[in-house]
Structure 1
Amino acid sequence: MTIKDLAEASGMSETAIGNLENNKKTPRIESLRRLSKVLNVPIFYLGCFEQLPENTLGQRIMKARLFHGFTSQEFAKILNVNHKTLRSWEQDKSRPSSIYFNTLKQFLKVLEDQNFDCSEVIEKQIKK
């Protein structure tokens, strides 16, 4: 698939895709969603989110949010909190109260289930 084909299929510009490909721009979640759908690969693979640290609760919350493909605004809405509150959690400036832990656990579970293998994704793309 050429950059032109990918641009047409994803609704993104060739320039935007070229900038992402050449690491001139950091992709936004919205762009990763489009590319993920067109390329039939997981968002975490395109974003290299498996490499993000998860040493603190805040890092784990951010990593889980990105793995699920949510912007901070979207994830805050799902959790029924202000996006500034979510940002504070992700930056380890504050901790979520206990009323949010059950909901957060559902999203953090993806980090426990990290049995993904990027080589499998790459192999699938090579066979296309």
Structure 2
Amino acid sequence: MLPALPEDDTPGGRLRRARLAKSMLLVDLAAATGLSVRSLRLAEHNKTTVCPSNLRKLSKALGVSIAYLGCFESLPEHTLGQQIKKARLYHGYNKREFAKKIGVSARMIWLWEKDEYRPSEKYMKHLDTFLAILH
């Protein structure tokens, strides 16, 4: 039986807890995701931030949500820009990947997330499918 781990509600702590719950060693998780043992160790110790595409890989290998691994539930969603960013991260996309899904530039995603521009009605229809995860 594994010793009880102290509660560590950080991305690294959640990654470690999810890995241990699957009885996986770092080398097992590395093999399942294609990530290096070193980068996984750094992530578990919160010495590096895991990019959205790697969070997708980890989420799939560990059977937990991307939002859980990234601690994204604590992100604010008071403005439309904050909601767009949170939904993007919940789905595990970086700005460039998300922009491609929506049909705009990564710069436009950045401007929306900064609340400097508001998406037109055309793009809001695309965004609504992603924003639904927040409700």
Q: TM-score, normalised by structure 1?
A: 0.83
Partner of 1:24: 47
Which moves more between the two structures, 49-58 or 4-13? Answer: 4-13
Q: 1:38 aligns with which of 55, 61, 64?
A: 61
1:107 shift after superposition: 1.1
Partner of 1:85: 108
Structure 1 unaligned regions, length at least 5: 113-128
Q: 2:99 aligns with which of 76, 79, 83?
A: 76
The whole-number CA distance in structure 1 between the counterparts of 2:83 and 2:113 is 8
Can you list the C-alpha shifts for 1:83-106, whole angstroms capped at 9, x where unaligned? 101110011111111221111111
Matched, 1:106 2:90: no
1:62 shift after superposition: 0.5
Q: TM-score, normalised by structure 2?
A: 0.79
Q: In the comparison of the two structures, how many residue pairs are matched?
A: 112
Q: 1:6 aligns with which of 29, 39, 43?
A: 29
Matched, 1:62 2:117: no
Amino acid at match of 1:103: H
Amino acid at match of 2:120: S
The whole-number CA distance in structure 2 between the counterparts of 1:38 and 1:104 is 27
1:8 shift after superposition: 1.6
Indicate the SS of the match to 1:41. coil
Can you list the C-alpha shifts for 1:23-44, whole angstroms capped at 9, x where unaligned? 0001101111111111111111
